[in-house]
Amino acid sequence: MVTYNLIGAGLIVIGAGLGLGQIGGKAMEGIARQPEASGKIQTAMIIIAALLEGLAFGALFLGK
């Protein structure tokens, strides 16, 4: 069913959005607390965001 697929895709996007928001927000906080560590925080942030994204895309891909 197309509708169920779309609902599933919506749920995946909500979950991924919440996760990315957490990652981005916490990284911002971290950078605000310790601006001198911003480079390291950014790298870690991008890597974790990429892992999350991989998971979300994997789910979307399987649900297609």
Q: Which residues in this chain contact another protein in the complex, by CB under 8 A?
A: 43, 46-48, 50-51, 53-55, 57-58, 60-61
Residue number with CB closer to another protein (34 or 43): 43
Sign of CA dihedral 49, 52, 54, 57: negative
Return all residues near 53 (Cβ < 8 A) that are at least 6 apart: 16, 20
Nearest distance in Å: CB 3, another protein: 18
Residue number with CB closer to another protein (10 or 54): 54
Nearest distance in Å: CB 55, another protein: 7
